[in-house]
């Protein structure tokens, strides 16, 4: 099973917020529902491939802090290379590209053999938590670490580590190399082509 199958799917403001007392239960439920719904989408024979992709994108947008992810994946230097008008366009194309990437891998998997085991859910800070899980199929087992942030009065996923490798860190390195020789507009166009399946 490819690592892309596993993703279902300092930038946090410091203002005072009333946090739910059951943050562990909320984030754990969020994680389990996201995993369950992702598998259900794959098993739904009533949806064609494009409809499943659209469902995955909707799930990702609902359960993740997509704007925070986009800022973290570019970093301050990369974000500064975009204009104000390009910010929402980058967020949209990045999320579409990321969805296309892991969905394409998930679509090749036999989800009937996948087993998910949930582990520890721990507080990192008042606004951040980490929940662990493992995903097993017929041939492999992967250790997962989901990172949550409390932002805009809700908990959401903002990163995933697979076997210790951060999804955002991997993309950040790729985008930094690309922006060293290209403009922000060219990066957005590259992501759009990947999202459309024009390039891999």
Class of the CATH-defined domain 3-8+22-195: alpha beta
And the tokens for 6?
């596993």
What does the domain layout of the chain look like in residue ranges?
Answer: 3-8+22-195
pTM: 0.82
For 163-178, write each residue's pLDDT tens digit. Answer: 898 989 989 999 999 9
**DSSP code of 130?**
E
Percentage of the chain lying above the pLDDT 90 cut = 48
For 32-60, write each residue's pLDDT tens digit. Answer: 999 999 889 988 989 998 898 889 889 98
Q: Residue 194 and residue 129: Cα distance in Å, rounded? A: 31
């Amino acid at each position: 099973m490819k690592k892309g199958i596993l993703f279902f799917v300092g930038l946090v403001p410091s203002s005072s917020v009333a946090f739910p007392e059951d943050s562990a239960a909320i984030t754990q439920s969020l994680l389990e529902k996201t995993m369950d719904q992702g598998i259900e989408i794959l098993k739904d024979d009533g949806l064609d491939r494009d409809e499943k992709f659209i469902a995955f994108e909707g799930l990702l947008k609902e359960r993740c802090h997509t704007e925070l992810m986009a800022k973290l994946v570019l970093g301050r230097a990369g974000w500064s290379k975009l204009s104000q008008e390009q910010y929402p366009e980058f967020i949209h194309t990045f999320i579409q590209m990321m969805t296309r990437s892991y969905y394409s891998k998930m679509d090749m998997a036999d989800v009937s053999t996948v087993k998910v085991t949930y582990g520890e859910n721990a507080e990192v800070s008042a606004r951040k938590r980490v929940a662990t899980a493992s995903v097993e199929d017929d041939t492999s087992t992967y250790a997962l670490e989901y990172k949550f942030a409390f932002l805009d009065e809700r908990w959401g996923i903002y990163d995933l580590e697979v076997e210790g490798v951060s999804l955002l860190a991997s993309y950040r390195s790729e985008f930094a190399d690309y922006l060293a020789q290209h403009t922000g507009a060219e990066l957005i166009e590259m992501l759009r082509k990947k999202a459309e399946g024009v390039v891999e």
